[in-house]
Amino acid sequence: MSEENWIEVGSTDSIEEEDLIRFDHQDKTFCVYKLTDGFYATDGICTHEAVHLEDGLVMDDEIECPMHQGIFNIKSGEALSPPACEDLKTYPVKVDNDKIFIKID
């Protein structure tokens, strides 16, 4: 796997715990989360209708869409509650020197 796929998102203190930031790269939007056990990343747009999950609520390991309360597991991307039924894509995250990187395929 090539190194270039790891994209720098920002510093680890740019996200509060149990919160997220939106990260745009080229024409794609991602959400990067800080949970109690580390950092995670998913697609930034709900799979139900095109709304940004950056405005959603992070609770434990879940992100809840601000539009119709569809819920996804942040770690697996699994759609947990309707009207969301399609899973959310997740991405690997690593931290290096207090910087967060996500791997985009």
Partner 1 sequence: MKNNIIILGGGQAGIYAAREIRQNDSKSNIKILGEENLLPYERPPLSKDFLLDKKKEEDLYFHSSDVLKNENIEFENISINKVDFENKKLFAKNDNVYSYDSLLISTGSENKKLTLDNNLKNDIYYLRNLEEAKKIKEIVSNKNKITIIGGGFIGLEIASSLSQLQKKVIVIEIGNQLMGRIIPKQIADLVQNTHIEHGNEIILNKQIEKITKKNGDYEILLNDNSLIETDFIIAGIGSTPTVKLFENTNLKLDNGIVTNQFCETSIKDVYAAGDVSNFYHPFYERNMRLESYQHAQNHGICAGKNIAGVKTEYTSIPWMWSDQFNLNLQLTGICDEYDEIIERGKDINNGVIYFFLKNNKIRGACGVGIIGKVGRDIRITSKLTEKNTIVDNQILSDQNLKLNKLIQK
Q: Between the CA atoms of 13, 5, 92 and 39, what dihedral angle is there, to the nearest 10 degrees? A: 0
Q: Which residues are within 8 A (CB) of 32 and not within 5 positions of it... i.e. 6 or more apart?
A: 9, 10, 15, 20, 21, 23, 39, 40, 41, 93, 100, 102
By C-beta, is 83 or 92 nearer to ligand FES?
83
Least Cβ distance, residue 57 to ligand FES (angstroms)? 12
By C-beta, is 7 or 51 nearer to ligand FES?
51
Q: Binding ligand FES by CB under 6 A: which of 67, 76, 78, 80?
A: 67
Taking CB under 8 A as the criterion, which residues in 2-31 touch partner 1?
none
> Which residues make up the interface to partner 1 (CB under 8 A)?
49, 51-52, 54-57, 64-69, 82-83
